[in-house]
């Protein structure tokens, strides 16, 4: 890389002494000291190359892969990212993917019980890659976790901004799993999402399990292989023949209406279709409250 000093074009690997010498041949003697100081500072700064966004993402993904190999915590990363972004209100332009969930006022909400585990697991990665914002890291951990478990690739771009504790949202913005479609529509429509996106995003229940000490629901998974991201959730939802698996009111709500049930059937029969729709819906969710959405 080269930069211009006065009229001389010099390499970033040139010593500061050489730069001063080059500058002196073009500058009046009275201004030489000042110019040399500027050139020396520029030479020093040029040695501290900033990481590109691609390098930051690659480094963070590598560390996430190491984490997931040590402990299969991918599902809780999906929940962390979902609960951070899912507070978005399109009318007030508040909430969204901004890492407000790491602060006590929001982390203490009932729906977020247990998520400090995910936040603490990601802290060493944040320290190793300080260039990435918490908001970006939480969403990347979810996206990479889904890919790690065999799920679809989801568009991702750095650029989310971390907010302060004053920007925490009030309790009650996340879905209540005890309620049915009317409530789900109220919640998802507030974010700007559609019926089809409600169903696609519900498919993330194919990953992980409930924990009674966090959600109050039985210690059960929605599928027989909860560390694989696939379309098994929809198959099990339709089959309803395994009492060892979890079914919540918010799951059964997807079957309440013929049009919604048809989408569930489509996803159960065609994993590629589910992956396509899920990727698009998750991308939208992960960019709520930002200008990063790419249609």
Note the pLDDT tens digit of each residue in 64-89: 999 999 999 999 999 999 999 999 99
Closest among 249, 204, 242, 217 to 75, alpha carbons compared: 204
Q: Which long-range contacts (CB under 8 A, 24 or more apart) does 60-66 make?
A: 60/125, 60/129, 60/132, 60/137, 60/140, 61/140, 61/144, 63/124, 63/125, 63/128, 63/129, 64/125, 64/140, 64/141, 64/144, 64/145, 64/148, 65/144, 65/148
The 10s digit of each residue's pLDDT in 248-278 is: 999 999 999 999 999 999 999 999 999 999 9
Rounded Cα distance between 49 and 68, Å, is: 30
Where residue 48 falls among pLDDT bands split at 50, 70, 90?
Answer: low
Closest among 170, 168, 198 to 186, alpha carbons compared: 198
Q: What's the whole-model pTM score? A: 0.84
**Active-site residue, selected from the candidate residues 83, 144, 282, 283:** 83
The 10s digit of each residue's pLDDT in 199-239 is: 999 999 999 999 999 999 999 999 999 999 999 999 999 99
- Average the pLDDT over 88-104 and give the result: 98
- Average the pLDDT over 103-114 and give the result: 97
- Residue-level pLDDT at 294: 86
**DSSP-assigned states of every residue in the chain:** -EEEETTEEEETTS-HHHHHHHHHTTS-GGGHHHHHHHHHHHHHHHTSPPPPHHHHHHHHHHHHHHHHHHS--HHHHHHHHHHHHTT-BTTTTB-SSSSGGGSHHHHTSGGGTTTHHHHHHHHHHHHH-TTS-HHHHHHHHHHHHHHHTT-------S-PPP--GGGPPPTT-S--TTS-HHHHHHHHHHHT--HHHHHHHHGGGGS-B--TTTTSS-S-BSSS-TTS-SSHHHHHHHH---TTS---HHHHGGGSSHHHHHHHHHHHH-HHHHHHHHHHHHHHHHTTTSS----
| Residues linked to residue 221 through DSSP beta bridges, in sequence order | 209
- Residue-level pLDDT at 109: 97
Helix axes 271-286, 258-269, angle to 10 degrees: 110
- Residue-level pLDDT at 37: 45
Q: How far is CA 101 from the centre of its chain?
A: 12
Burial environment of residue 166 by CB neighbours within 10 A (0 to 12, 13 to 18, 19 or more): exposed
Where residue 20 falls among pLDDT bands split at 50, 70, 90?
Answer: very low
Q: How many CB atoms lie within 10 A of CB 291?
A: 7
Residue 232, token pair as written in the block: 């098994």
The 10s digit of each residue's pLDDT in 226-236 is: 999 999 999 99
- Average the pLDDT over 50-66 and give the result: 97
Rounded Cα distance between 141 and 127, Å, is: 15
- Average the pLDDT over 178-197 and give the result: 98
**Residues in contact with 119: Cβ distance below 8 Å, sequence separation at least 6, in sequence order:** 80, 101, 102, 107
The yes-or-no answer on residue 83 being catalytic is yes
Q: How far is CA 135 from the centre of its chain?
A: 7
Rounded Cα distance between 210 and 187, Å, is: 21
The 10s digit of each residue's pLDDT in 132-159 is: 999 999 999 999 999 999 999 999 999 9
- Average the pLDDT over 124-129 and give the result: 98
In the predicted structure, residue 43 carries a pLDDT above the cut 60: no
């Amino acid at each position: 890389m080269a930069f211009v000093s006065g009229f001389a074009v010099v390499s970033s690997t040139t010593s500061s002494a050489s730069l001063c010498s080059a500058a002196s041949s073009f500058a009046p003697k009275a201004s030489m000291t000042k110019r040399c100081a500027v050139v020396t500072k520029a030479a020093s700064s040029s040695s501290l190359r900033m990481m590109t966004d691609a390098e930051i993402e690659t480094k963070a993904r590598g560390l996430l892969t190491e984490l997931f190999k040590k402990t299969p915590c991918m599902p809780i990363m999906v929940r962390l990212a979902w609960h951070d972004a899912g507070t978005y209100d399109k009318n007030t332009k508040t909430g969204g993917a901004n890492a407000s969930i790491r602060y006590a006022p929001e982390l203490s909400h009932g729906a977020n019980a247990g998520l400090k585990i995910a936040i603490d697991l990601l802290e060493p990665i944040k320290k190793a890659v300080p260039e990435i914002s918490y908001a970006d890291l939480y969403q990347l951990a979810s996206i990479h976790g889904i890919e790690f478990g065999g799920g679809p690739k989801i568009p991702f771009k750095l650029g989310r901004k971390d907010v302060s504790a004053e920007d925490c949202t009030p309790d009650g913005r996340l879905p209540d799993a005890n309620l049915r479609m009317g409530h789900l529509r109220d919640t998802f429509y507030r974010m700007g999402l559609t019926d089809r996106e409600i169903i696609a995003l519900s498919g993330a229940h194919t990953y992980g399990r409930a924990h009674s000490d966090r959600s109050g629901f039985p210690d059960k998974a929605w599928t027989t292989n909860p560390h694989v991201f696939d379309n098994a959730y929809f198959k099990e939802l339709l089959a309803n023949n395994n009492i060892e698996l979890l079914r919540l009111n918010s799951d059964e709500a997807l079957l309440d209406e013929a049009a919604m049930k048809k989408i569930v059937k489509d996803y159960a029969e065609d994993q590629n279709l589910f992956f396509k729709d899920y990727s698009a819906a998750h991308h939208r969710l992960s960019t709520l409250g930002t200008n990063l959405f790419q249609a």
